[in-house]
């Protein structure tokens, strides 16, 4: 049985109704908490608030924070520090509140002004990409959430983990010192994967393939499943086989037809050769041939 303590029913204030804030607000509502107010400025955020947090009043950030037991700060990374300082300066944060931010790049240090006035501070970063639509609330049940609190503040760690469990996700403790590397790994995987797949689809369309996404779906889904299960043993293709001639053909045709993808192909192929050689899949002499071809 899960022994993680569960917070009582909380009045939640969401700043702001971006893709992450609106979804977490809806997830907390489903868990039995009450979103009392939300901030939203853009037309898109107002639409998200209306869809995912219906009938919740839209108020300025200081008013949202002042009326909440749990203040959820879901703003861009670079805005977070200024927002926290501003809320403290206006007296909108107080002792006894729970203040949570959702930034992956920031740890608990950015909430120091709130901690100084007595708020319990936690960083909760969902390891998921969000569209800001209702299906994201369901996806929360399959994702991990990176939890960070101050060293030694076990109450904050426990509250953060309990909130994640209530949203039906899986809490994972991320020490403050590990946050930058943790976030770099996630951004490298998720963000660059989207760029890679979009580039692949563009190249297929330039080759006359009408439904590129349908063609790529099964292949890329299998590749992702295989690497998560088997790691480097899942590597396939001309680089992992040491087929330098095919790699040379790829370089030529990409240079002619899709030059924007050529540099990324070279970089990823070189990294693939390194991993394949280290895993014992590619003999050193074949790896050298591939690297030489990539440099030529």
**pLDDT tens string 86-129:** 999 999 999 999 999 999 999 999 999 999 999 999 999 999 98
Instruction: Give me 33's structure tokens.
Output: 């908490």
Question: What's the chain's average pLDDT?
Answer: 95
Per DSSP, helices labelled H in the chain are 19-30, 43-52, 61-66, 77-89, 112-116, 135-139, 154-166, 179-206, 212-230, 238-241, 244-257, 259-278, 284-295
1 within a domain of the structure (yes/no): no
* pLDDT on residue 1: 43
Q: Which of residues 142, 174, 206 is at a domain's end?
A: 174
Q: Which of residues 174, 196, 220 is at a domain's end?
A: 174
Residue 79 contacts residue 72 (beta carbons within 8 Å): no
Residue 104 contacts residue 146 (beta carbons within 8 Å): yes
Residue 160, Ramachandran bin (φ over 0: left; ψ between -120 and 50: alpha; else beta): alpha
**pLDDT tens string 239-282:** 999 999 999 999 999 999 999 999 999 999 999 999 999 999 99
CATH code of 125's domain: 3.40.50.720
pLDDT band at residue 296 under the 50/70/90 scheme: confident
One domain for residues 65 and 150:
yes
One domain for residues 199 and 275:
yes
One domain for residues 18 and 160:
yes
4 within a domain of the structure (yes/no): no
Instruction: Give me 83's structure tokens.
Output: 């927002």
The pTM is what? 0.89
One domain for residues 33 and 79:
yes
One domain for residues 272 and 236:
yes
Q: Which of residues 109, 141, 174 is at a domain's end?
A: 174
Structural domain span for residue 78:
11-174
């Amino acid at each position: 049985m899960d022994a993680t303590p569960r917070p009582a029913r909380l009045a939640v204030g969401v700043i702001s109704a971006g893709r992450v804030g609106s979804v977490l607000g809806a997830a907390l509502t489903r868990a039995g908490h009450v979103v009392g107010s939300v901030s939203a400025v853009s037309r898109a955020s107002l639409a998200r608030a209306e869809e995912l947090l219906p009938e919740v009043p839209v108020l300025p950030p200081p008013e949202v924070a002042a009326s909440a037991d749990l203040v959820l700060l879901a703003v861009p990374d670079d805005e977070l520090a200024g927002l926290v300082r501003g809320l403290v300066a206006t007296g909108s944060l107080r002792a006894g509140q729970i203040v949570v931010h959702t930034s992956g790049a920031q740890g608990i240090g950015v909430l120091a002004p709130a901690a100084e006035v007595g708020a319990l501070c936690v960083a909760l970063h969902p390891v998921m990409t969000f569209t800001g639509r209702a299906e994201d609330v369901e996806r929360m049940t399959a994702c991990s959430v990176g939890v960070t609190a101050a060293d030694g503040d076990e109450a904050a760690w426990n509250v953060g983990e309990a909130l994640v469990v209530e949203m039906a996700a899986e809490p994972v403790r991320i020490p403050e010192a590990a946050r930058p590397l943790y976030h770099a790994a996630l951004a490298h995987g998720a963000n660059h994967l989207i760029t890679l797949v979009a580039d692949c689809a563009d190249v297929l369309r330039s080759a006359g393939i009408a439904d590129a996404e349908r063609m790529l779906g099964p292949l890329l889904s299998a590749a992702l499943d295989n690497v998560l299960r088997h790691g480097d043993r899942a590597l396939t293709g001309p680089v992992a086989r040491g087929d330098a001639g095919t790699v040379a053909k790829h370089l030529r045709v990409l240079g002619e037809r899709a030059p924007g993808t050529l540099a990324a192909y070279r970089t990823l192929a070189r990294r693939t050769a390194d991993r394949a050689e280290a895993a014992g899949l590619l003999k050193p002499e074949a790896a050298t041939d591939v690297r030489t071809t990539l440099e030529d």
